[in-house]
Amino acid sequence: MTLSAPRTARRGGARLVAAATALGSVFLFTASGPTSAAEEPPSAPELARWTAQTADSRLLAPGVEYFRYKETSPIAQRTYPRELNVVRIDPAKGALRIESTFGRKGGTSETVREMAAAMPEAPLAAINGGYFMNEGTPDAADAVPETIQTFGATVRDGEVMGASCVLGKNRHSVVLQYGVPYVTKLETDISVTSSLTEEQGGPYGEVTQRVDDVNRNPGGALGCPRDADDTAGELGPYEDAYKKDLAAYTDPTEFVLFNYSYKTTTPKPDVNKNITADDQAGYEVVLDSTTGVIIDGGPDRGGRTVGKGQYVLQAIGDHQVDWLRRQHKEKATLTVTQKLWDHRFEADGIKREIPLDETVDVVNGGSLLMRDGVNKYGSAGATGYAHGSCARLYDENGLSKKVSTATPQAKTDVCRDSRTAIGVDDQGRTLLVTLTGPRDQYSPDGGFLAEVTEPLKALGVMDALNQDGGGSSTMLLGGDTRPVNGLTDGPAPGVERRVYDSVYVATGGSPVVG
């Protein structure tokens, strides 16, 4: 098998930054033919309900196989067959690395194609990554929100890019380290510690303060609460500029850290008109990220660019602002600490720290699809479709309960959105998977989670995580620029959506013997 080489060697010391947003549809980008004419196309595994498109299967590189499937028998309410795309990565057959990237900026969004273009070399394959939300007030005149925030634990090259949701929210993440994905439930622990004693710190003399999040607008955590102080927003949930429902969790007393990867100016008050907690002027300081020395700062936060080797720390709330002002006035040094805790075995009382260094990437995810080979969503048969809240829209056969001549299916919703998943099989191979279909008002463009776990189970997947889906679902193969709306021979394509990050496989790494 292979072990990924140090990132400094692989990336030439450069840190790639990419981002997220929404608009659009589902894409598959294809390259042409096997890597070498002498290499035989791989044989696609047989899957129930899916027909392998053998002419499209190919070897992208030694150890990287691509398989394409079409739905064998579409249901009555679906006018065109969906397709399943699988990239299977075998570390025993080639020097490969599996990592994530967020393109050029951590504070704005890019397409998977743009992220790949920012890399020194084109990846062999890539999929969209974690969940994200657009910050700012919806504005039809401005189709591209200035900034975004990731939700769920997100790490790039050992640096936290987004804090974890509270542990009870059933969110998992995938750790990408040494070329082997590890699906688990993670907790981020971020703090700032002053060089002042409690007495020197005055009335708010706490030496250490908890940092609520990284690279986002203070006052409003979107998508999920980050701690017990975050409460459902006064106007949430609401729709963003892309008509996507958002849940806002407000907290008028926060510290938020910004790092060099943010690559945009820090947020000013009242970024989001739906959230009053972010209206405060607050306080902001610039830190040397190595020494903790306060370089600059003052009231009226926002509008600063984080320099290389720096942090910017923003505070809102009387207590937090007074504390940070005191640190600035007394010329304190502030030490930032970031920790990552693995809670996969928390039932056994185990909380394991994952040391953060440049080998660690983390991509946040949603539902746990497979764990130790167990299908978490049952069968896609007679009772496997309509689970949980989806039962209100669909019957046990997956047919819409709301059928009329004008609307042959209820609507495209989260129950049947396009899907992106990442998993590891029983041979240690990584699988990147998308399940997509034509996106229009009449046809479900994706599938229930049970329709994803069924082929994953057949492919021998042991652990798998559902990534961001719907219009974000994207697969990129090779360097071809031809976009396709889910189906390589289907209806006309839509528009590729900008997303927060992507997971990719590329050549590189060091072979390990034994």
If asked whether residues 187 and 299 sit together in one domain, one would say: yes
If asked whether residues 153 and 90 sit together in one domain, one would say: no
If asked whether residues 227 and 123 sit together in one domain, one would say: no
Write out the H or E segment, with its range, that includes residue 399: none
Q: List strands edge to edge, sheet with 283-288.
A: 213-214, 254-258, 310-316, 283-288, 294-299
Q: Are 1 and 512 in contact (CB under 8 A)?
A: yes
pLDDT of residue 265: 93
Residue 126 lies in a domain: yes
Domain that holds residue 351: 138-364
Residue 120 lies in a domain: yes
pLDDT of residue 171: 85
User: CA-to-CA distance for 316 and 148, rounded, in angstroms?
Assistant: 19
pLDDT of residue 196: 94
Residue 409 lies in a domain: no
Residue 401 lies in a domain: no
If asked whether residues 190 and 93 sit together in one domain, one would say: no
If asked whether residues 106 and 212 sit together in one domain, one would say: no
pLDDT of residue 387: 56
Residue 56 lies in a domain: yes
Mean pLDDT per block of 10 residues along the chain (514 residues) reads 42 29 37 47 90 90 93 76 92 92 92 90 92 74 69 94 86 91 95 92 83 95 89 61 70 97 94 87 98 96 96 97 95 97 86 95 94 83 56 67 53 72 96 81 69 94 94 80 44 71 86 40
Domain boundary (364, 385, 400) is at 364
pLDDT of residue 309: 97
Domain boundary (326, 346, 364) is at 364
Phi, psi of 278 (to 5 degrees): -95, 10
Residue 119 lies in a domain: yes
Structure tokens at 153: 């634990």
If asked whether residues 109 and 253 sit together in one domain, one would say: no
pLDDT of residue 1: 37
Q: How many domains does the chain have?
A: 2
Angle at CA 317, nearest 5°, toward 237 and 303? 80
Query: Any idea which residue has 């999920």 for tokens?
Result: 224
If asked whether residues 274 and 228 sit together in one domain, one would say: yes
Residue 459 lies in a domain: no
Q: Which of 508, 510, 462 is nearest to 99 (CA)?
A: 508
Residue 307 lies in a domain: yes
Q: What is the pTM of this model?
A: 0.87
Strand partners, 239: 245
If asked whether residues 333 and 477 sit together in one domain, one would say: no
If asked whether residues 269 and 327 sit together in one domain, one would say: yes
If asked whether residues 84 and 190 sit together in one domain, one would say: no
If asked whether residues 148 and 124 sit together in one domain, one would say: no
pLDDT of residue 407: 46
If asked whether residues 315 and 190 sit together in one domain, one would say: yes
User: CA-to-CA distance for 302 and 240, rounded, in angstroms?
Assistant: 22
User: CA-to-CA distance for 483 and 495, rounded, in angstroms?
Assistant: 9
pLDDT of residue 240: 55
pLDDT of residue 5: 44
